[in-house]
Structure 1
């Protein structure tokens, strides 16, 4: 079963039309602390409580195709990709190498982006 391979929510990505305005909202209004600030690369992340998962804002001017996305940490991207593809799941991005392991992207029936990643 695929759910045994899904370990936790890794991050949530949200587009931001104005990164500084969004920073003020998440930090000052919601009271979240910055986890990392790569504003020069169009990325700004906020901690949510003591969870490792973060809300990561993507500057929609720098990333015009940015859409809300849920990133799930899985045991093995390649293995889960094979399992889900055999069940007919359509992947918008087949497994690809990232600096921390592997990632892939699919869409749920509502068109929401779900990324899967591992740390191998």
Structure 2
């Protein structure tokens, strides 16, 4: 029997590796865990999302994203969604307003330079992720 502990990483492709690095470091505050090198040059990196969770990024020219991709977004838990939104806006990046979702979490959305959708979550004591129970979708 397998027991899954958590999501280890999500992998994305970047049209512009340096712009992508700046976005995740400067806008979202993630640290580079390590780089991938080939022929002495960086072609990818791992971003630390806390604990043992990461976002893996590789340079891939011609990358494009659309709403028909099988993986539509990834989600990052934040401590204070209001502060996160304010910080993202201060960097000149568009972010949605905070919404209280049907699963009793606060959420907001932002896109990286490659048009990857990123959901920001702030859990509450009543979040379905902890309490369980079916929820009626409101979207």
Bin for the TM-score computed over the shorter chain: 0.3 to 0.5
TM-score, structure 1 as length reference: 0.45
Q: Which has the larger radius of gyration?
A: 2
TM-score by length of 2: 0.39
**Higher relative contact order (Cα pairs below 8 Å, separated by 6+ residues):** 1
Higher helix share: 1
